[in-house]
Amino acid sequence: MNNWGEQFPALMRHPHGKRLAYLDSASSAQKPIPVLQNIHATLNGAYANIHRGLYYNSAVTTAAFEEARKTVASFLGAAEHGLVFTRNATEGVNLVAQTWGRKNLTRNDTIVLTEIEHHANIVPWQILQTEIGFTIRVVPHAVVTAPFDESAWEPLLKGAKLLCITQKSNVTGVRPPLESIIPLATSLGLATMVDGAQGAAHMPQNLTELGCTFYACTGHKLYGPTGIGVLWGKPQVMESLPPYQGGGDMIEEVALPTGTTYAHIPARFEAGTPAIAEAIALATAITFIKSLGWPAIELHEKTIAGQLTQALKNLPFVKLYSPADTGIASFNVGDAHPSDIATLLDQQGVAVRSGHHCAMPYMKALGIEGCVRASIGLYTTQADIAQLVDALQKAHEMLA
């Protein structure tokens, strides 16, 4: 058993006097010591605003910020030129909707969403739909979660302009077979918007090989800070898009009353002062992940995910909605309200999520209004699973 958890100070807390079993990494992951130290070092060292100053502090911080871009791009297996820093994955999707969507969609067009998407990959398109009037076609969860069947997918994709799809469901952890879906969508002329918020932290990425048009992920699920995310797009596509926001650093020249010209990517989409320390710390989080190594991380998470699935299956009063061993286990306990279960677990030191998990269409497809979700990270241990099981048994007894 590894000792990775010792690198995460927040896990040493004892809520309600109990050992903390943190099982909400799908919501936000804890931060390792190197990330915490890096944020302090950046703000306490040669800090200054970037891309503007000719003095020492500005040059040092600018270099660190742009080096972070290289680190993140390499981690994603993607061209650095197409990588834009955002606040989170949600802002990345909104950026695509407001730039690519406004430029390419008309009232006669169709886009495709799946029934298992997070609201962040649904609502931005619905907002744009109310303005433009295009059609939204929905892939049922039974199709998107099943083994790939081209005959099922092709009719749903044909004639559309864009496919928006998650890399890994935040509800059940299921992974749509993107390695088959994206080539089919591309061959049919669709652009592809992949929500990698859950995927980036749990599997190695090679966006060049994956072939998607756009990919969004977020730092706080990657053991990095909040307030920093990433949108990557194919550079030739990104370069063709209009600005998303106006302000400093995204212009070449400003003229009055008209005639302003815009910077090339990625600067065109990074208006104003960015999350400087956070971007640099995200690179540190990625370096931390790489130091552990994907083979070791995947083996650890596969083992823990299997233990989590089996433990919940062994409880007769638990209804499990997730497939086996995804690392995200959504469930209900008899007729108890998910919030009641989560509250009782919290009193025993177990941190889980309850509700609809920003995926109400998926909840409806599963025939429920909400559920409890336990999710793992690279610091999750067998002791955490055992504590969850013990807490669930006590909660069931209390409510029964």
CATH number at residue 391: 3.90.1150.10
- Same domain, residue pair 223 and 128: yes
Q: What is the mean pLDDT of residues 41-52?
A: 95
Asked whether residue 17 falls in the same domain as residue 42, the answer is no
Mean pLDDT of 48-68: 95
CA dist 82 to 24, 73, 74, 120, 277, Å? 31, 9, 12, 21, 21
Q: What is the per-residue pLDDT for 111?
A: 98
pLDDT at residue number 225: 98
Give the pLDDT band of residue 400 (cuts 50, 70, 90): confident
> Which letter does DSSP use for residue 215 in this model?
E
Question: Which position has the token pair 């919940």?
Answer: 312
Which residues participate in catalysis according to the annotation? Answer: 358
Instruction: Work out the pLDDT band at 377, boundaries 50, 70, 90.
Output: very high
Over residues 53-68, the mean pLDDT reads 96
Provide the pLDDT for residue 2: 82
* Cα 30 to Cα 19, 39, 225, 346, distances in angstroms: 16, 14, 9, 17
- How far is C-alpha 21 from the chain's CA centre? 22
Mean per-residue pLDDT, 112-133? 98
Q: What is the pLDDT of residues 289-341, one digit of tens each?
A: 999 999 999 999 999 999 999 999 999 999 999 999 999 999 999 999 999 99
Residue 328: the pLDDT is: 98
Other Cβ atoms less than 10 A from the Cβ of 228: the count is 27
Query: Among 231, 264, 290, which residue terminates a domain?
Result: 290
How many Å apart are CA 389 and CA 317, to the nearest integer?
Answer: 12
DSSP 281-334: HHHHHHHHHHHH-HHHHHHHHHHHHHHHHHHHHT-TTEEE-SPTTSSEEEEEET
Same-domain check for residues 181 and 127: yes
145 and 18 co-located in one domain: no
Q: Identify whether residues 357 and 281 lie together within a single domain.
A: no
> How many Cα atoms are found within 13 Å in the side-chain-facing hemisphere of 34?
16
User: Global pTM?
Assistant: 0.96
Question: Which three-class secondary structure state does DSSP give residue 24?
Answer: strand
The DSSP 8-state label assigned to residue 397 in this structure reads H
* Average pLDDT of span 17-33: 97
Residue 142 sits in the same domain as residue 63? yes
CB contact burial 337-368 (16+ within 10 A = b; e otherwise): ebeebbebbbebbbbbbbbbbbbebbbebbee
Residue-level pLDDT at 312: 98
Report residue 204's pLDDT band, with 50, 70 and 90 as the boundaries: very high
Domain residues for 256?
A: 37-290
pLDDT band of 48, cuts 50, 70, 90: very high
| Other C-beta atoms lying within 10 Å of the C-beta of residue 287 | 15
pLDDT of 1 above 80: no
Residues 272 and 379 occupy one common structural domain: no
Residue type, 328: I
End residue of a domain, out of 252, 272, 290: 290
For residues 77 and 175, membership in a common domain is answered with yes
91 and 219 together in one domain = yes
Domain count, the chain: 2
Mark which of 268, 290, 312 sits at the end of a domain. Answer: 290
256 with 308, same domain: the answer is no
CB-CB contact of 230 with 85 (8 Å): yes
Say how far apart CA 96 and CA 98 lie, in whole Å. Answer: 6
Q: How do residues 177-189 score in pLDDT, each as one tens digit?
A: 999 999 999 999 9
Give the integer Cα–Cα distance in Å for 375 and 198.
11
pLDDT in tens, 216-251: 999 999 999 999 999 999 999 999 999 999 998 899
Specify the CATH number for the domain of residue 149.
Answer: 3.40.640.10
Range with lowest mean pLDDT among 159-163, 245-249, 273-277: 245-249
Q: Do 42 and 10 reside in the same domain of the chain?
A: no
My answer on whether 66 and 208 are in the same domain is: yes
Cα–Cα distance between 105 and 127 in angstroms, integer?
Answer: 13
pLDDT digits (tens, 9 = 90+) for 62-97: 999 999 999 999 999 999 999 999 999 999 999 999
Q: State the Cα–Cα distance between residues 339 and 353, nearest whole angstrom.
A: 8
